[in-house]
């Protein structure tokens, strides 16, 4: 039986203790693990696993990593802030995003990619449109599916020329890669841990979605893919960081309060709906009863030969 939600923040936080192991996709933890200046040993294996699954060239070496990077300008009065920007030695630039909602993910990713491209345009005499580097936006999507009708976990999205009779590859300067973590959970539910150990990208994505909760599963994943060992170490440091713990506890408390408010609102809405439904039902019942009584009276008058009176009563309907 579900536990009754409480509206007060303090009551909710005492009734529901935050989990000891918080999600590595929690913004502050994600930036600490993958976005630090020295995060290349853990960020590069994750990035390459996703790129490989998407059919894109892997990165040999990372030149620079910037977390929570801001770009000039913005949409809806907000300054664009990219989670983790990775500059590779081959000139490409990557934006690694942890998203918990699919709302506007496509447009948002396209905007981020376009802003990355514009920020990378050189201003030297030898710079041309042909020297613009490739920008790849990698979205780790949790909590919803971008492409629910497909079983594909990692999906690359490219621009294409729309020609009569078919399509041809268009400009390749911007690519959006969406990795749907909910589909990885479904694969795990069908085939267990062995299912996600069949591919490094699945192992990485499962680890980020749910595997981090079970130390034994983390150990099994590291045995299969040693490049993931660095993640375990950095994740352990992250969950032991008191500042991150306080930030997560506050975030978790906010979620509980939001869920509590929504629960009470839905409950109140249902009760109001029931009352309105009863009132509407009573009104409809009275109207139906009145109409039925009139019909019976008209029939009785006509049977007694009082047609004029029956005609007059019919006009009152």
Distance of CA 192 to the CA centre of its chain: 23
The DSSP code for 71 is: -
**193 compared with 2, residue with greater pLDDT:** 193
Give the number of domains in the chain: 2
Residue 128 · residue 168 · CB < 8 Å: no
pLDDT tens, 210-262?
A: 888 888 888 899 889 988 888 888 887 777 777 666 665 665 566 556 566 66
Residue 13 lies in a domain: no
CB atoms within 10 A of CB 114: 14
Q: Do 210 and 253 share a domain, yes or no?
A: no
Residue 61 · residue 103 · CB < 8 Å: no
Residue 63 · residue 57 · CB < 8 Å: no
Q: What is the band of 2 on the pLDDT scale with cuts at 50, 70, 90?
A: very low
- Domain of residue 102, residue span: 35-240
At 164, is the secondary structure helix, strand, or coil?
coil
Residue 177 · residue 157 · CB < 8 Å: yes
Q: Do 285 and 228 share a domain, yes or no?
A: no
Q: Which of 188, 218, 240 is the last residue before a domain boundary?
A: 240
Q: Do 101 and 168 share a domain, yes or no?
A: yes
Residue 157 · residue 175 · CB < 8 Å: yes
Q: Which of 240, 256, 291 is the last residue before a domain boundary?
A: 240
Q: What is the pLDDT of residue 235?
A: 82
Helix (H) or strand (E) holding 244: helix 242-303
- Nearest in space to 223 (alpha carbons), one of 194, 252, 182: 194
Q: Do 90 and 188 share a domain, yes or no?
A: yes
pLDDT tens, 80-121?
A: 688 999 999 998 999 999 988 777 888 889 889 888 888 777
Average pLDDT over all residues of the chain: 78
Q: Do 308 and 230 share a domain, yes or no?
A: no
Q: What is the band of 144 on the pLDDT scale with cuts at 50, 70, 90?
A: confident
Q: Which of 180, 207, 240 is the last residue before a domain boundary?
A: 240
Q: Do 57 and 206 share a domain, yes or no?
A: yes
pTM reported for the whole predicted model: 0.70
Q: Per-residue pLDDT averaged across 175-200, rounded?
A: 93
Residue 103 lies in a domain: yes
Q: Do 140 and 288 share a domain, yes or no?
A: no
């Amino acid at each position: 039986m579900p536990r009754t939600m409480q509206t007060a923040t303090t009551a909710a936080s005492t009734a529901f203790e935050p989990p000891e192991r918080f999600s590595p996709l929690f913004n502050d933890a994600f930036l600490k693990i993958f976005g630090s200046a020295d995060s290349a040993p853990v960020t590069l294996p994750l990035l390459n696993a996703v790129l490989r699954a998407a059919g894109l060239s892997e990165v040999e070496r990372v030149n620079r990593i910037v977390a929570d990077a801001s770009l000039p300008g913005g949409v809806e009065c907000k300054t664009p802030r990219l989670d983790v920007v990775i500059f590779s030695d081959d000139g490409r630039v990557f934006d690694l995003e942890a998203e918990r909602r699919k709302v506007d993910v496509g447009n948002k990713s396209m905007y981020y990619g376009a802003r990355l491209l514009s920020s990378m345009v050189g201003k030297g005499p030898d710079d041309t449109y042909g020297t613009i580097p490739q920008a790849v936006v990698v979205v780790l999507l949790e909590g919803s599916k971008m492409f629910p009708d497909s079983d594909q976990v990692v999906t690359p999205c490219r621009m294409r020329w729309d020609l009569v009779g078919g399509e041809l590859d268009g400009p390749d300067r911007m690519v959006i890669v969406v990795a749907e973590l909910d589909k990885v959970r479904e694969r795990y539910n069908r085939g267990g841990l062995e299912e996600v150990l069949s591919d490094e990208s699945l192992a990485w994505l499962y680890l980020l979605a749910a595997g981090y909760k079970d130390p034994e599963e983390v150990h099994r994943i590291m045995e299969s893919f040693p490049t993931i060992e660095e993640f375990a170490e950095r994740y352990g440091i992250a969950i032991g960081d008191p500042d991150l713990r306080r930030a997560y506890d506050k975030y978790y408390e906010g979620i509980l309060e939001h869920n509590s408010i929504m629960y009470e609102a839905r409950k109140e809405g249902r009760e109001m709906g029931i009352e309105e439904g009863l009132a509407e039902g009573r009104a409809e019942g009275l109207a139906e009863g009145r109409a039925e009584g009139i019909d019976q009276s008209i029939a009785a008058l006509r049977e007694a030969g009082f047609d004029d009176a029956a005609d007059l009563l019919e006009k009152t309907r």
